[in-house]
Structure formats: structure tokens, C-alpha cells
Amino acid sequence: MEQGDTPSSIGKMPNLIANTNKESMKDNELLIRLNRGSGLGFYIRGGIDNPHLPGDSGIFVTRVRDSGSAGVDGRLKQGDKILEINGESVRSCNHKDAIELIQDAGDEVSLLVRPGTEREILERISEVEHGSKKDDRKTGEFPFALGIGSYGITAVAMGIVAISFYMIIRRGFRSYE
């Protein structure tokens, strides 16, 4: 187990309950109901006290064991963001509170998740670091709060260093005149 990962519980084969409440969710959200049985079989990371990803303090699934309830059900995946546990929002909670909600949930655990969120966030970060796929100057949209578009921090820093170096050299030559 990696540092920061927390097992939802330990156990063997579960009893499963099918998803029956799809009409109250958004298209990109999935309600998963799991019977604890001998164990849920997934690990989580994140929270406002220790974010798993830059810019998102949500609770993320970091691993799903094949033998646990979640693994047998097959819908919960690594990288899914958990939005609610048994109807309680975990969008802005710390890691310990999320663990307690899972542990105190009883025999049936209901998870509202947004599948693939970790991958989406990492793709956005990669676009900012390596240049955006669209021309941000034309749309007026800028990735994150820095507003650096596709130019990158490295280029800006290099420019500042070059100007500073030029000014130092120029002053040095003037002092010998």
C-alpha cells in the first residue's frame, strides 16, 4: 500500500446491489451501490488537508482490488473522483472525514462518482505545461489563474535572466570607461 492510500475495508467476496437511481444524476456522474460484505476493496487519496492532484482537493480512487465488492462490480475505477458517500458530499472535506463516512456507512455503501476525473485533470495540466491545444489568445481563455497561455513559465524566466545579465554586463563595461 502506498503512503496516503487508505483501504476502504479489508475482505473477500461481496454481495452487490445494482444502480437504481440514475435519473437524479448528471450525465458525467455515476451512482454505485456496494454491499460491504467482507470488504469494499478500494483505496482513496486526497482531501482538503492533503490534495491528491494540484488544483483539486477532491477524494480520488487510487486502487481497486479485483476481489473486493468494487472490483467485482466493475464500475469503480482508479482515477474516479468520489463526490458523495451515502448522500454526504465529500467535495470539500478532509481525508479522515471521508474515511469515517465509508467506515460508518453500514452494510450498503453508496458512492456518487465522476469517472475518469484524474485523467482529465492530468491532461489539462499537461496542456498548460506543454502548450495548450487551442489558441488561448483568440478565445480569451487562459489555463489556470496565471494567464500565461501556451508561452510557459520557463520562457518568461529565461527572458528575465537574459535581461538581468545584459544589464550587469552593460554596467560593468561603463565603469571601465
Per-residue model confidence as pLDDT tens digits over 58-68: 999 999 999 99
pLDDT averaged over every residue in the chain: 75
Q: What residues have CB less than 8 Å from 48, skipping those under 6 apart?
A: 57, 92, 93, 94
Residue that wins the pLDDT comparison between 150 and 78:
78
Is 174 a residue whose pLDDT tops 60?
no
Q: Measured at the alpha carbon of residue 91, what is the angle toward residues 31 and 69, in degrees to the nearest 5?
A: 35
pLDDT band at 147 (very low <50, low <70, confident <90, very high): very low
- Alpha carbon distance 85, 116 (integer Å): 18
Contact 71, 65 (CB under 8 A): yes
